[in-house]
Amino acid sequence: MSDKVLIITGASRGIGAATALLAAERGYGVIVNYAGNVAAAEAVCAKIHRQGGEALAVRGDVTLEADIDHIFAAADRMGRLVGLVNNAGTIEPSIRVEDLDLARLQRIFAVNTFGSILCAGRAVRRMSTKFGGQGGAIVNVTSAAAKLGAPNTYVDYAAAKGAIDSFTVGLALEVAGDGIRVNGVRPGVIDTDIHAAGGDPDRAHRMGPSLPIPRPGTAEEVARAILWLLSDEASYTTGSVINVTGGRGIAP
């Protein structure tokens, strides 16, 4: 049994996988959640195990409450939950607002917004001192798109992540007195395969040279920000969102 369990949703690839690897290095027992790619999730766990860490791949779709309960039950078996990283997310091919339909909106918000809120509620029930817990931390992975709007490409995704920005602040204020800190990390143009899901696999490298720091970011750079917010070094930080954007979109 671990006394330091961390759930990371969508942890089989990209930012989630990088966060899982770094968290294990720092002593967390990690629940590596995945929706469909079991081989990728097990590869992340295998790497953690080779380095002497503890990790378990747990299948679960964050849009389904029964699956969310399955994820958290696995964490309960591993030990004491101290953190949640709401990282699971998705985009779809570029589209303008006049061409959006309800089915796509439901998919985008189900993964990027509703799943994070539902997972956070389960985490609060376990970590809150109000419910007999010992406190903990939640980090929501949002997006620079929430501030930039993503016109002509992913306005629906931007809106879903904008909701997570607001949720981060609201939940932080709600549970600050119960021993739980809630913060967010706002990645910008990061070199992961999420761009391929949007039909533009070269997007990060195409946009990178135009950024104030003229390159795309890496999943590891986002993971370091997440781990800082989870750590005691951020003990007086709650309701904050850190931009990891290479300077993009931070001007008032």
Q: Each residue of 37-73: pLDDT tens digit?
A: 999 999 999 999 999 999 999 999 999 999 999 999 9
Q: CA-to-CA distance for 45 and 54, rounded, in angstroms?
A: 8
Q: CA-to-CA distance for 193 and 43, rounded, in angstroms?
A: 16
Residue 252 pLDDT: 45
Domain 2-244 has CATH 3.40.50.720: yes
Cβ-Cβ contacts under 8 Å for 227 (sequence gap 6 or more): 19, 22, 23, 26
Q: Each residue of 141-200: pLDDT tens digit?
A: 999 999 999 999 999 999 999 999 999 999 999 999 999 999 999 999 887 766 445 556
Dihedral sign (CA 23, 83, 143, 61)? positive
- The Cα-based distances of 199 to 16, 153, 207 in angstroms read 21, 10, 15
Q: Each residue of 203-244: pLDDT tens digit?
A: 665 766 777 788 888 999 999 999 999 999 999 999 999 999
Under the banding of pLDDT at 50, 70 and 90, the label for residue 250 is low
Give domain limits for the chain. 2-244
Residue 206 pLDDT: 72
Residue 198 pLDDT: 55
Q: What one-character DSSP code corresponds to residue 235?
A: T
- Token pair in block for residue 21: 């690897």
Active site residues: 157
The residue with tokens 């930080």 is 237
Contact 32, 11 (CB under 8 A): yes
Cβ-Cβ contacts under 8 Å for 106 (sequence gap 6 or more): none
